[in-house]
């Protein structure tokens, strides 16, 4: 069996070794798949925390877990919005804990559904308070209603959703 000169890497004309052609196929060693870099989690990385921060995080987690239990119980017992807010405020004052610190902790720890639920409730209450403040402003200052109407705000929608303004 004879081999051709081209299969040995030699050109036919001058029998010198030819340069290997660059293949459009990437070799198996260079085509290894690399895992994508992990995404930054919105949760606090426990590896970057100092021991004091880790202890504080544990304390807040236990506190928020307890608050979640109170929140769920209040909603299951049929408490209305005002009563549920009172349960949350009374809980935080009884534990000498500022609600803003609980809120900040919830923002950084959304890995459990119960934390997301409580965070959503906090957002909902803030939005309702802002709307209520707007409605109070409208009720006491008639020229504000005219200004809102000129900007395209549907006052009928506001009245239907939140009760009569006047």
Specify the range with the lowest mean pLDDT, choosing from 41-45, 92-96, 111-115.
41-45
Only one residue has tokens 């890497």, namely 9
Is pLDDT above 50 for 148? yes
DSSP characters for 53-97? HHHHHHHHHHHHHHHHHHHHHHHHTT--HHHHHHHHHHHHHHTT-
**Calpha distance 47→87 (Å, rounded):** 34
Residue 161 to residues 41, 93, 133, Cα–Cα distance (Å): 37, 32, 15
pTM passes above 0.95 = no
Give the tens place of pLDDT for each residue, 7-26. 555 545 555 555 555 544 54
Give the tens place of pLDDT for each residue, 40-90. 555 555 556 576 688 888 899 999 999 999 999 999 999 998 899 899 999
**Calpha distance 142→130 (Å, rounded):** 18
pLDDT at 28: 47
pLDDT at 40: 54
Which carries the bigger pLDDT value, residue 59 or residue 27? Answer: 59
pLDDT at 118: 93
**Calpha distance 116→107 (Å, rounded):** 9
């Amino acid at each position: 069996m004879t081999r051709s000169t081209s299969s040995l890497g030699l050109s036919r004309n001058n029998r010198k070794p030819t340069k290997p052609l660059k293949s459009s196929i990437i070799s198996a060693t260079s085509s290894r798949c690399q895992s994508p870099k992990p995404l930054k989690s919105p949760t606090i990385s426990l590896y970057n925390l100092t021991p004091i921060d880790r202890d504080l995080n544990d304390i807040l987690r236990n506190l928020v877990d307890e608050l979640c239990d109170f929140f769920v119980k209040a909603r299951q017992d049929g408490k209305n919005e005002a009563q549920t807010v009172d349960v949350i405020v009374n809980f935080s004052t009884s534990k000498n804990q500022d609600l803003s610190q609980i809120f900040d902790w919830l923002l950084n720890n959304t890995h459990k559904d119960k934390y997301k639920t409580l965070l959503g409730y906090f957002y909902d209450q803030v939005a309702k308070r802002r709307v209520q403040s707007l409605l109070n402003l409208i009720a006491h200052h008639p020229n504000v209603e005219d200004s809102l109407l000129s900007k395209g705000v549907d006052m009928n929608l506001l009245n239907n959703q939140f009760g009569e303004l006047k």
